[in-house]
Amino acid sequence: MKEMYPKKGRVILHVDMNSFYASVEMAYEPELKGKPVAIAGNVEERRGIIITCSYEARKFGVKTTMPLWEAKKLCPQLIIRKPNFDRYRTASIAMFEILRNYTELVEPVSIDEGYLDITDSFELGSPIEIAQSIQKRVLEQLDLPCSIGIAPNKFLAKTASDMKKPMGITILRKRDIPAVLWPLNTSEMHGVGKKTAEKLTTIGIHTIGELAAGNEIQLKSLLGINGIRIKERANGVDNRPIDPQAVSDFKSIGNSTTLPKDTTNQQELYRVLESLAETVSVRLKRKNVLAATLGITIRFKDRKTITRSKKLSNPIQQKEDIASMAKQIFIKEWNGNPIRLLGITGYDLVEHDLAFKQLDLFSFEKDAKKEPLLKTLSTLRDKYGKNIIKNAGARKLDNAHNVGTGTSFNKDFLRTFPQKKKEDD
């Protein structure tokens, strides 16, 4: 069986759950199978927005972020369910536990997808046999469908898993790239968004093949280091390792202050928290990240210190959100004794563009109302450069504090995901 694996190089799988939220609901309610199902908030109201939907619903044109009224107009028989994130998280944990039966080199990248390095798993069968086994076990044990890509690196594995949905298994080798990928438009390439694709057209690059042959000086001038990176991807080059600890890899941004005098005045303590929240918000914005967990530190007059944190349903960055959550945690933990020091810290930092937002639809719809403004800002940045407009808060402490750069941030809310214990634990 080892002969079916490369002597040099790796075998990477990308497992991508199909229409995950809707599929989980179908697993709990089998009578929903084969029917058009959508997950949405505010199901009684016209202003609800679709989070995700089944493939049966997609056939009618129903799509993510579509207003509920529009989705029902396209598909009158659409079945709506409210999101149940505890249920989805439980299913996600069970799915990753199955994956770990095949290798310890499993890297979750979101609630419903992850990479596996099965290079040394040849005793379990060929790569295609392992993929088939995973797909079968996830379906039989969890009643959930998934698609799997098999390739020599992450980029090609991710690309392959998108090729056949639902319940597909696709092998994508480097030698397949010219025939399979190069004819496609750059907007269809994983890691290249619509705006980047539009920029590439300004230098005559429309297809992935043209990108693969692109001039590096031009690409770097247009897109910075990302220009070189996407050219490498277009040529099938991706040396990123599978990192099982990446899900736990996080930094923090915070601020604390010692009060001028010990106090029990609640309003004064609230004002201190608001000031700290503003500073933390500015630092988060400067680094273009959001906090998925918020913690506070309380030091009492007797120097006893406690820290408490709360995992958030949606990552936050704004001063008002940070202050509100900090006050909630504080008032629950404060025993009324005089306080000497207060601190607020944001953990599980998520890059703004990659933030996995557990949509509660209230905030989602509030964000959606800002869409026209955001599109205008985006147009201005595309035309005049990304620094032409900045959030005022991001400038406020521009030189005040030095927070580490180059950090690899946690991309979802899985920091508390059960990790395999070490032998000496």
Mean pLDDT for 390-412 is: 35
> With bands split at pLDDT 50, 70 and 90, how would you rate the model's confidence at 399?
very low
Whether 140 is catalytic is no
- In this prediction, residue 319 carries a pLDDT of 94
Q: Cβ contacts of residue 82 below 8 Å, gap of 6+? A: 39, 40, 41, 43
Residue in this structure with the two tokens 């750069």, named with its chain if needed: 405
Query: Cis bond leading into 67, ω under 30°?
Result: no
Residue 85 has pLDDT above 90, yes or no: no
**Could you give the CA distance from residue 193 to residue 186 in angstroms, rounded to a whole number?**
8
State the Cα angle at 98 between 94 and 104, rounded to 5°: 120
Q: What are the beta bridge partners of residue 148? A: 15, 169
Q: What is the dihedral of CA 46, 47, 49, 54, to 10 degrees?
A: 0
Choice among 31-40, 83-92, 160-169, 338-347 with the minimum mean pLDDT: 83-92
Residue 381 has pLDDT above 60, yes or no: no
Instruction: Look over the chain and give the mean of its residue pLDDT values, rounded to a whole number.
Output: 83
Say what the pLDDT of residue 43 is: 61
pLDDT(408) > 60? no
Residue 401: pLDDT band by 50, 70, 90 thresholds?
Answer: very low
pLDDT per position as a tens digit, 177-198: 999 999 999 999 998 988 899 9
Structure-model confidence comparison of residues 20 and 287, the more confident one:
20
pLDDT exceeds 80 at position 366: no
| CA–CA dist 113, 95 (Å, integer) | 9
Cα dihedral sign for 19, 25, 31, 36?
negative
Mean pLDDT across the stretch 259-271? 94
409 versus 231: the higher-pLDDT residue is: 231
Is a pLDDT exceeding 50 seen at residue 410? no
Contact of 38 with 54, CB cutoff 8 Å: yes
H helix or E strand, kind and range, residue 257: strand 253-263
Q: How much is the pLDDT for 421?
A: 36
- Residue 419 binned pLDDT confidence (cut-offs 50, 70, 90): very low
The confidence score (pLDDT) of residue 252 equals 76
Is there a binding annotation on residue 112? yes
pLDDT at res. 22: 95
Confidence (pLDDT) at 380: 57
**What are 312-361's pLDDT values in tens digits?**
888 899 999 999 999 999 999 999 999 999 999 998 887 765 554 443 43
Q: What is the pLDDT, as a whole number, of residue 46?
A: 54
Q: Model's pTM, two decimal places? A: 0.63
Please report, rounded to a whole number, the percentage of residues in the chain having pLDDT higher than 90. 60
pLDDT at 3: 75
Per residue in 200-236, pLDDT (tens digit) is: 999 999 999 999 999 999 999 999 999 999 999 999 9
| Catalytic, out of 56, 107, 113, 278 | 113
CB of 156 within 8 A of CB of 14? Answer: no
Q: Where are the beta strands (DSSP E) in 97-229?
A: 106-110, 113-117, 146-151, 169-171
Which domains are seen in the chain, by residue range? 177-234 (1.10.150.20), 247-396 (3.30.1490.100)
424 is in an annotated binding site: no
Q: What is the mean pLDDT of residues 65-88?
A: 91
